[in-house]
Structure 1
Amino acid sequence: MAAITTGLGSRLVSTDTQAKAFQELPVISLARLASTDPKERKALAAEAAINSGFFYISDHGVPQSVIDGIFEQAKEFFALPAEKKMQMDMHNSPAFKGYQPLKGENVDPANRGDVHEAWDMGDDSQVMREGKKNGNQWPSKTDLPEFQPKLQRAWDEIMALGKRLFPLFALALDLPEDYFADKLKSPGSTMRILHYPPQFGPMDSKEIGIGAHSDYECFTLLLQHGDVQALQVLNGAGEWVEAPPKPGTFVLNIGDQLQLLSNSIFKSTIHRAINRSGVERMSSPFFFGLDYDAVLEVLPSCVTEERPALYEPIKAGEYVEKRLAETYV
């Protein structure tokens, strides 16, 4: 076993690099999301609060054409010459938006850098703490004329889906469905496109696609392109479980902000990616956070004499910025 450092403390994980077989992550249909029956929505919320913290969602309403557009543009973007991509170096942005080269990120401090490249975007109108702008860095329209409109359309569609999901998590915590509404006026969220080259030769557990980590925001919606298996999720027994792509679905996982708010009733699940498929892999996660000035404070309903508050209050923006600064080398 080895210790993985997260923003909410250290956790013990297995050092075995081979995924161990066990049942697939569940698939939850969102067909009941628009139901006018509170009991139906409550039942769906109960499913979303399952112990794994990781599951697929189907019937999500995001058009397949929009999803296809993400990966069409991602393929063209990552094929650009390195010097053009580095003109968008995310270190030029106070909000870490833009391009990150291979091994420019290291989510597990015990590793030597994550074997992927990425481009990150946020809401252009979003203002972070201390008046800092999100600072999106778009590729030239001469190079990629459809990149910005297609990625912006995807942002709008997936953001709308995420906002429809927050009432489920409120219900699962026995809160009013609109509990998060006033904390989502200008949510501190990020969408990224990721390219994982194939890795060959002997396995080096210190250099993998992305090291073992938890996500920093409330929850993540992940799109996986094609049929390349790389994502692995840590279960309660310390085993790595494969989460292969499933057509027509997102993978949803709980992040740190919900773990903090719920006093660890919701678990921010450890996961990683290892691309030993022999071909490139692309994915696109969307990280849903609360407004940067929203205070992350353990909910009173999640505190008892036997279970005191485990975390100190912190603003959402401060927490995410701290984690990002620790991640990017």
Structure 2
Amino acid sequence: MLQTGNGTRTFKSAGLEPNRVPFDSLPVIDLAPIFGTDEEARQRLAAELRRACTEVGFFYIRNHAVPQAVIDGAFGAAQDFFARPDADKQAIHVSKSRNNRGYAALLEENTDPTARGDLHESFDIALEVPETDPDVLAGKNLYGPNLWPEGAPAFRGDVEAYYDAMITLSRNLLHAFALALDLPEDHFDTLVSKPLATLRLLHYPPQFGEIDDRQIGIGAHSDYECFTILAQDDIHALQALNANGEWISAPPLPGHFVVNIGDQMARWTNGLFASTVHRAINRSGKERYSIPFFFGPNYDAEITPLESCVDADHPAQFEPITSGAYINSRFEATFAGYAAQNKAED
């Protein structure tokens, strides 16, 4: 049993090995039509995306228009950052930010409340918002400035270039989601004008020998936002939970991102789109790096089931909640010290 922000989820306790299936067991979506004007191709994309979101909730995208050089730059930045001395990383520790930006060390995150901590290091940034911004002054604590390592302008440049590319891709992908829900393409646009969108650099050291399934790279969890766009290096570690409660490998594919539905999109669609539980276990014997980008709506955007996803046979499953309130509730459950820090600063 796993507690998530959208309720209890169940899966089979079958060790740490996933079922090895061909990679095309997860759908591969060609995103090219969303950048073009061929209406028939765009509708085919919408139908494929709807099927992937309702049946799996986890898929690859290709032809996403993000230059490989931008992706390579972000991975190079991640490797350089995590190789820095601990003192450099601790100087921008997440505890120095009230909006969950900065560095976190091994075991400081615990995505699965039943587990013993996640075996990864992380570095987070989000939308760069100055301290003088009205939303920051109003106490909307998920907005604010990022923390950056001293004397590393190239690092910041590479990370920000990737962040900007992900924002553009996310807005195009959200247009495809709107079409998949039979909504106007721009339906969500006003709700993501100032998104709660987080970029995370992750470093997973390898695990050897017998592994305690309560302490792995990242424990079983569902993501909090609308969707996640994940870039992987060439190390196999990611596993997704299928509808039968079995773990399925989601290996890296060159030129592809992995996308998974998050809790907020599941709430918006009244459970129609599947928020997929997943985990990562690095048993490769090598260092692993990955870069997830979590895209969610504005702080005050209300997450309530869409009218098109509610009827007499499918009553609303979720109470309305704002995006900021939902994300705060999940961070408080996941990050050590987050709740205490924000309470102290209120």
Taking structure 1 as the reference length, the TM-score comes to 0.96
Q: Percent identity?
A: 48
Structure 1 residues 126-181: Cα deviation after superposition (integer angstroms, max 9, x where no partner): 7467243423110012xx33111111111111110111111111111111111001
Tell me what 1:186 maps to.
194
Q: CA shift at 1:310, angstroms?
A: 0.3
Q: Which moved more, 1:231-240 or 1:89-98?
A: 89-98
Tell me what 2:340 maps to.
none
Tell me what 1:19 maps to.
18
Tell me what 1:300 maps to.
307
The verdict on how the C-alpha distance between 1:110 and 1:131 changes in structure 2, with shifts beyond 3 A counting, is closer
1:278 is matched by which residue type in structure 2?
Answer: G
Q: Number of residues paired by the alignment?
A: 324
Q: Distance in 2 between matches of 1:53 and 1:39?
A: 24
Structure 1 residues 41-97: Cα deviation after superposition (integer angstroms, max 9, x where no partner): 121012112111111111111111110100111111001111211111112211111
Q: CA shift at 1:201, angstroms?
A: 1.6
The verdict on how the C-alpha distance between 1:131 and 1:108 changes in structure 2, with shifts beyond 3 A counting, is closer
2:7 is matched by which residue type in structure 1?
Answer: G
Residue 177 (1) aligns with residue 175 (2): no
Q: Which runs of 5+ in 2 are unaligned?
A: 337-346
CA contact (8 A) 2:129 2:145 kept: no
Tell me what 1:158 maps to.
166
Residue 102 (1) aligns with residue 112 (2): no
Q: Distance in 2 between matches of 1:93 and 1:281?
A: 26
Q: Which moved more, 1:110-119 or 1:316-325?
A: 316-325
Select 2:209's aligned residue among 190, 201, 208.
201
Q: Distance in 1 between matches of 2:38 and 2:76?
A: 39
Tell me what 2:275 maps to.
268
Tell me what 1:283 maps to.
290
CA contact (8 A) 1:119 1:192 kept: yes
Tell me what 1:138 maps to.
148
Higher helix share: 2
Q: CA shift at 1:249, angstroms?
A: 0.8
Tell me what 2:44 maps to.
43
Report the 3-state secondary structure (helix = DSSP H, G, I; strand = E; otherwise coil) of the residue aligned with 1:290: strand
Residue 32 (1) aligns with residue 26 (2): no
2:284 is matched by which residue type in structure 1?
Answer: S
Structure 1 residues 114-134: Cα deviation after superposition (integer angstroms, max 9, x where no partner): 000000001112746724342
Report the 3-state secondary structure (helix = DSSP H, G, I; strand = E; otherwise coil) of the residue aligned with 1:161: helix
Tell me what 2:260 maps to.
253
Tell me what 1:9 maps to.
7
CA contact (8 A) 1:94 1:135 kept: no
Q: CA shift at 1:23, angstroms?
A: 3.9
CA contact (8 A) 1:219 1:289 kept: yes
Report the 3-state secondary structure (helix = DSSP H, G, I; strand = E; otherwise coil) of the residue aligned with 1:195: strand
Report the 3-state secondary structure (helix = DSSP H, G, I; strand = E; otherwise coil) of the residue aligned with 1:286: strand
Taking structure 2 as the reference length, the TM-score comes to 0.91
1:324 is matched by which residue type in structure 2?
Answer: F
Report the 3-state secondary structure (helix = DSSP H, G, I; strand = E; otherwise coil) of the residue aligned with 1:13: coil
Structure 1 residues 1-46: Cα deviation after superposition (integer angstroms, max 9, x where no partner): xx11100000101222211123421221112112313332121012
Tell me what 2:344 maps to.
none
Q: Which moved more, 1:58-67 or 1:22-31?
A: 22-31
Q: Distance in 1 between matches of 2:43 and 2:110?
A: 38
Q: Which moved more, 1:285-294 or 1:36-45?
A: 36-45
Q: Distance in 2 between matches of 1:189 and 1:223?
A: 15
Report the 3-state secondary structure (helix = DSSP H, G, I; strand = E; otherwise coil) of the residue aligned with 2:139: helix
Structure 1 residues 302-328: Cα deviation after superposition (integer angstroms, max 9, x where no partner): 111111100000000110111111111
Report the 3-state secondary structure (helix = DSSP H, G, I; strand = E; otherwise coil) of the residue aligned with 1:15: coil
Select 1:147's aligned residue among 148, 155, 173.
155
Q: Which moved more, 1:79-88 or 1:284-293?
A: 79-88
Residue 119 (1) aligns with residue 123 (2): yes
Tell me what 2:227 maps to.
219
Report the 3-state secondary structure (helix = DSSP H, G, I; strand = E; otherwise coil) of the residue aligned with 1:67: helix
Select 2:85's aligned residue among 81, 88, 91.
81
Q: Distance in 1 between matches of 2:144 and 2:124?
A: 10
Report the 3-state secondary structure (helix = DSSP H, G, I; strand = E; otherwise coil) of the residue aligned with 2:311: coil
> RMSD over aligned Cα, in angstroms?
1.2
Report the 3-state secondary structure (helix = DSSP H, G, I; strand = E; otherwise coil) of the residue aligned with 1:83: helix
Report the 3-state secondary structure (helix = DSSP H, G, I; strand = E; otherwise coil) of the residue aligned with 1:130: coil
